[in-house]
Amino acid sequence: MSRKQRITDLLTSEFKSSHLEVLDESHGHSVPKGAESHFKVVMVCESFQNMSKVKRHQTLYKLMDSEFAAGLHALSLHLYTAEEWQGQAPASPPCAGGSK
């Protein structure tokens, strides 16, 4: 199973989100083809209603401990309530390191 699918499965099992995107952005970084090392998650979930933005990130990073242990290098998180969601997350910046 791909890392993207594992992340998607984990998030859908833990949260009832109204919007979820799991994007593999590894191709934009200086990593071997198929590395599955850089991901972006965009999620809209009412569970975030009473959480600070920091707590939302901490919760998801903790949930992803096993993926980080297995080689996940970077995880960009864009986590919203329905009221905060504007229909799209900001674009990821280009890689600042390596040859790309």
32 Cβ neighbours under 8 A, 6+ residues apart: none
The 10s digit of each residue's pLDDT in 16-31 is 999 999 999 887 767 6
The amino acid at residue 43 is: M
Res 98 pLDDT > 70: no
User: Residue 24: helix, strand or coil by DSSP?
Assistant: strand
The 10s digit of each residue's pLDDT in 65-89 is 999 999 898 899 999 999 999 999 9
Q: Where are the domains of the chain?
A: 3-80
Give this prediction's pTM: 0.88
Between 7 and 97, the higher pLDDT residue: 7
Write the CATH number of the domain with boundaries 3-80: 3.30.300.90
